[in-house]
């Protein structure tokens, strides 16, 4: 294909679908898997995330849900009704883990419950997919990691956004040096709502709104920040070495005990600095990451698309009308001379979902199933999830105790 044709074609694709990422999805129908090859899993926690996982796994025949568990009767009933295959319902997860047919467990309960469930699942000697953040505290994360290090089974913490094609294209662009020297990353996840969920029954405030209470939750840093920190660690290839922060309950003074705003600064090796902010009183540029290099800046909103802004308009690869960068096509799309990065086909993956959240979750579980079968390695693995968990807790500690926190040698387990 001639260069000009390529530009026109990519431009048309981008114009037709609106944004770069959507243009590179390959939607497929999943192939059936013989019954005896399906991996038998159980899910603990059938709330928002558990329901999403059930929905996603309906389109992943490699995995068969044979058991599920929730302490709330109506959640258990709703969960069982959503599962395609015939599953056994439990109200006590320990009883579920005694089911000898289980090969893997999915833990999608509130954060404070992750640790006992992980430890019991390790004792049951089955594969684990645990929702983020890995555990509620640094001590729990270390203990769980040490125990998991002795296991031959897989342990994945659920950070699905690393499977996003936009994220992987950004990563490659940075690794190939097109941003020059990366010195800073700013990330935020802002909302303009109280972060509350409606109560199905008046007595269920703490069970349903567990995120708002510090005995159960790591607040905004754990629930939202951990996703962004996980991507930042992965781009930099390291964990933070020092953290400071601030935050408070300053807007939603409604009885919650976790901060309604957090802001933390992270020092990484080689002088790279990162920041994460989350607020619940403004949603302008809701979910954004900015990567600053001495040659260019990349801005991504929601990881749906990415724009690149060269520092010097006359002296950069980015001024050409087509790529030279990972096969991506670029074009100026706004008055600030931002260029949209059209994610090249090589970054796209087969998926049955068009929606970003569902697509990346499906890809995460597809990889988990393939890794259990020994067909491919886990995309992230335990070290990755462990690291993000420690980063979250260091930031929360720095904010709550107004301290400067350091990554200590004893965290390297």
Q: How far is the CB of 51 from ligand NAD (least distance, A)?
A: 7
The Cα 370–Cα 33 span in angstroms is: 12
CB atoms near residue 129 (< 10 Å): 23
Distance of CA 385 to the CA centre of its chain: 10
- Our CB check for ligand NAD shows the closer of 234 and 329 to be 234
Closest CA to 305 of 24, 56, 28: 24
Q: 41 by DSSP, 3-state: which?
A: strand
Binding footprint of ligand NAD on the chain (CB under 6 A): 44-50, 69-72, 75, 93, 108-111, 113, 131-132, 158, 160, 207, 210, 223
Q: 300 by DSSP, 3-state: which?
A: strand
Residue with tokens 């243009």: 23
Q: How far is the CB of 185 from ligand NAD (least distance, A)?
A: 20
Q: How far is the CB of 359 from ligand NAD (least distance, A)?
A: 12
- Our CB check for ligand NAD shows the closer of 111 and 296 to be 111
Q: How far is the CB of 260 from ligand NAD (least distance, A)?
A: 17
- Our CB check for ligand NAD shows the closer of 47 and 344 to be 47
Contact 295, 317 (CB under 8 A): no
- Our CB check for ligand NAD shows the closer of 38 and 211 to be 211
Provide, for the chain, the percentages of residues in helix, strand and coil under a 3-state DSSP scheme, each rounded to the nearest 5.
40, 20, 40
Q: How far is the CB of 407 from ligand NAD (least distance, A)?
A: 23
Q: How far is the CB of 206 from ligand NAD (least distance, A)?
A: 10
Using Cβ positions, the residue closest to ligand NAD within the complex turns out to be 47
Q: How far is CA 242 from CA 100, 333, 395, 404, in A?
A: 44, 38, 9, 7
Q: How far is the CB of 117 from ligand NAD (least distance, A)?
A: 7
- Our CB check for ligand NAD shows the closer of 261 and 287 to be 287
Annotate 8-17 with b (16+ C-beta within 10 A) or e (fewer): eebeeebeee
Residues in CB range of 152: below 8 A, 6 or more apart: none
- Our CB check for ligand NAD shows the closer of 161 and 178 to be 161
DSSP 200-268: SSGGGHHHHTGGGSTTT--HHIIIIIHHHHHHHHHHHTS--SEEEEEEE--S--SS--S-SEEEEEEE-
- Our CB check for ligand NAD shows the closer of 63 and 307 to be 63
């Amino acid at each position: 294909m001639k260069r000009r044709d390529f530009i026109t074609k990519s431009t048309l694709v981008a114009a037709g679908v609106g944004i770069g990422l959507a243009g590179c999805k390959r939607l497929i129908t999943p192939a059936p898997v013989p019954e005896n090859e399906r991996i038998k899993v159980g899910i603990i926690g059938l709330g928002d995330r558990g329901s999403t996982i059930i929905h996603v796994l309906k389109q992943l025949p490699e995995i068969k849900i044979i058991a599920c568990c929730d302490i709330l009767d109506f959640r258990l009933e709703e969960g069982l009704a959503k599962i395609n295959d015939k599953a056994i319902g439990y109200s006590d997860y320990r009883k579920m883990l005694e089911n000898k047919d289980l090969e893997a467990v999915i833990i999608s309960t509130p954060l404070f419950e992750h640790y006992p469930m992980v430890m019991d699942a390790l004792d049951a000697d089955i594969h684990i997919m645990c929702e983020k953040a890995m555990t509620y505290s640094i001590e729990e994360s270390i203990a769980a990691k040490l125990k998991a290090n002795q296991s031959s089974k897989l342990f994945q913490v659920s950070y699905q956004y690393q499977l996003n094609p936009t994220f992987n294209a950004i990563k490659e662009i940075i690794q190939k040096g097109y941003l020059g020297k990366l010195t800073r990353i700013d990330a935020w996840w802002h909302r303009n709502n109280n972060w509350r969920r409606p109560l199905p029954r008046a007595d269920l405030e703490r069970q349903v709104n567990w995120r708002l209470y510090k005995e159960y939750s790591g607040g905004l840093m754990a629930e939202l920040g951990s996703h962004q920190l996980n991507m930042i660690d992965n781009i930099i290839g390291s964990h933070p070495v020092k953290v400071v922060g601030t935050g408070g309950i300053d807007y939603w003074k409604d009885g919650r005990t976790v901060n309604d705003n957090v802001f933390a600064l992270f020092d990484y090796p080689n002088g790279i600095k990162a920041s994460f902010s989350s607020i619940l009183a403004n949603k302008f540029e809701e979910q954004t990451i900015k990567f600053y290099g001495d040659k260019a800046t990349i801005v991504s909103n929601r990881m749906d698309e990415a724009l690149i802004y060269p520092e010097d308009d006359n002296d950069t690869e980015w001024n050409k009308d087509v790529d030279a960068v990972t096969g991506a096509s670029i074009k100026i799309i706004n008055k600030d001379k931002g260029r949209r990065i059209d994610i090249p086909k090589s970054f796209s993956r087969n998926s049955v979902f068009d929606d970003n959240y569902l697509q990346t979750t499906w890809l995460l579980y597809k990889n988990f199933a393939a890794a259990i079968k020994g067909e491919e390695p886990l995309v992230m693995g335990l070290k990755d999830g462990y690291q993000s968990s420690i980063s979250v807790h260091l930031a929360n500690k720095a904010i709550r105790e107004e301290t400067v926190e350091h990554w200590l040698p004893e965290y390297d387990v």
